[in-house]
Amino acid sequence: MRLSRPGRRDAAELPGAGLMLVARRPVELLASPSPSAAVMFGFPAGRPFRVIGQEGGFAHIRD
């Protein structure tokens, strides 16, 4: 899941941290925070995830 701002922060400091719904498209869980990383898992659209951090413009999520 890609975010607009790079850098790593605690969830309490992230704008919009907490429950996040993926409404229109599936989520691909990548092996690392890179656009060329392998996809490890996929989740369907609409599944809730909690943002716990970010790195390099990618969200760290927990379901």
pLDDT values of the chain reduced to their tens digit, one per residue, 63 residues: 555 444 444 445 555 566 666 667 888 999 999 999 999 999 888 888 888 888 888 888 887
Question: Do the domain assignments include residue 51?
Answer: yes
Query: Can you give the pLDDT at residue 10?
Result: 47
Question: Do the domain assignments include residue 16?
Answer: yes
Question: Do the domain assignments include residue 1?
Answer: no
CB 53 within 8 A of CB 8: yes
pTM, full prediction: 0.58
Query: Can you give the pLDDT at residue 5?
Result: 44
Question: Do the domain assignments include residue 36?
Answer: yes
Question: Do the domain assignments include residue 32?
Answer: yes
Structural domain tally of the chain? 1
Query: Can you give the pLDDT at residue 2?
Result: 53
Query: Can you give the pLDDT at residue 56?
Result: 84
CA-to-CA distance for 14 and 39, rounded, in angstroms? 25
Question: Do the domain assignments include residue 5?
Answer: no
Range of the domain at 38: 11-62
